[in-house]
């Protein structure tokens, strides 16, 4: 399988370097161990939404050139499923997952499953609840949707999932919504995509969740957090990713997606994150 590693990143960086930087990068690449990095590193395309909107095909091509091999969609920019699949195949990309709004999962599930199958996706993920949807009643409705959709998805060979922010960890009505969703969804039907920035922003350590709910966190969103709470490219903040990755098997992680919600320069951000991750032991 395609593997993100330090050598690939360093060699790729040589093409952008000049003078003594090029020589030093080549030397640094020579002794690199293949035990570093993540197999099939992915990118959540919300990071690139402006670039995707202006140049859908070109942006996906550049993402592949940087070394990413998986992409998670957050919108399709008026492309038909077969058109999207063609661009993926042309660039050697795989799309294991997509973010699909709760309303569409609730009202158009058959269509979303059909599109996922065309694109080769195995995961449909509800990404967000609006401010007016964060009540006890809405969380219970969400749980019903996840369990119901999970049954239909399972029959088609797809999985339903939920992606967190920080608000799910804020107690309401004497309970923590994230815990409620985990407790009341069927583990045979519903997966979770854990966003490492947002759980850190909520002041929560993810490891106890891995221990309490092993195998349920099949996807991770990778983005860093600075000491003042800002979102950052990997390696620019304080999150201890290697500690989290050391428990990935317990958590059930199968896919890793780099993300930054509002990067100043999206391509610079994802290149930096790729480079930082390539130096981490997984």
Domain boundaries in the chain?
Answer: 1-36, 41-278
| Strand ranges in 164-273 using DSSP code E only, listed in sequence order | 190-195, 219-222, 224-225, 231-232, 255-258
β-bridge partners, 175: 172
Selected from 1.10.8.60, 3.30.70.360, 3.20.20.150, 3.30.930.10, the CATH number assigned to the domain covering 41-278 reads 3.20.20.150
> Tokens representing 67?
């070394």
Q: Are strands 231-232 and 255-258 parallel, antiparallel or unpaired?
A: unpaired
Q: Please give the pLDDT value at position 231.
A: 99
- Residue pair 74/99 in contact (Cβ under 8 Å)? The answer is yes
- Residue pair 156/113 in contact (Cβ under 8 Å)? The answer is yes
Q: Please give the pLDDT value at position 34.
A: 54
Compute φ and ψ for 220, nearest 5 degrees: -125, 140
Q: Please give the pLDDT value at position 24.
A: 32
Phi-psi bin for 257: left (phi > 0), alpha (psi -120 to 50), beta? beta
Q: How far apart are alpha carbons 154 and 106 in whole angstroms? A: 16
Low-confidence residues of the chain: pLDDT under 70:
1-37
Predicted model pTM: 0.88
Q: Please give the pLDDT value at position 16.
A: 37
Q: Please give the pLDDT value at position 282.
A: 75
Q: 173: exposed, middle or buried (C-beta count within 10 Å: 0-12, 13-18, 19+)? A: exposed
174 CB contacts (<8 Å, ≥6 apart)? none
Q: Please give the pLDDT value at position 38.
A: 85
């Amino acid at each position: 399988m395609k593997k993100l590693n330090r050598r690939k990143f360093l060699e790729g960086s040589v093409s952008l370097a000049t003078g003594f930087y090029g020589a030093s990068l080549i030397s640094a690449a020579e002794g690199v161990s293949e035990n570093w990095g993540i197999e099939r590193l992915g990118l959540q395309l919300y990071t690139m939404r402006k670039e995707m909107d202006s140049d859908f095909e070109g942006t996906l091509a550049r993402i592949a050139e940087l070394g990413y091999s998986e992409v998670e969609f957050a919108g399709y920019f008026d492309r038909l499923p077969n058109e999207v699949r063609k661009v993926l195949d042309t660039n050697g990309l795989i799309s294991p997952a997509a973010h699909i709004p709760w309303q569409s999962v609730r009202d158009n599930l058959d269509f979303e499953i059909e599109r996922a199958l065309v694109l080769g996706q195995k995961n449909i993920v509800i990404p967000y609840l609006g401010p007016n949807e964060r009540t006890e009643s809405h969380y219970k409705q969400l749980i019903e949707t996840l369990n119901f959709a999970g049954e239909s998805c399972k029959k088609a060979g797809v999985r339903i999932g939920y992606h967190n922010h920080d608000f799910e960890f804020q107690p309401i009505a004497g309970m923590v919504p994230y815990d409620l969703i985990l407790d009341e969804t069927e583990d045979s039907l519903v997966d979770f995509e854990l966003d490492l920035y947002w759980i850190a922003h909520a002041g929560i350590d993810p490891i106890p969740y891995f221990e309490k709910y092993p195998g349920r966190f099949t996807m991770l969103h990778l983005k860093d957090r600075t000491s003042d709470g800002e979102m950052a490219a990997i390696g620019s903040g304080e999150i201890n990713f290697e500690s989290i990755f050391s428990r990935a098997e317990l958590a059930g992680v199968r896919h890793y997606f780099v993300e930054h919600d509002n990067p100043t320069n999206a391509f610079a951000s994802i290149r930096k994150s790729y480079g930082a991750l390539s130096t981490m032991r997984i």
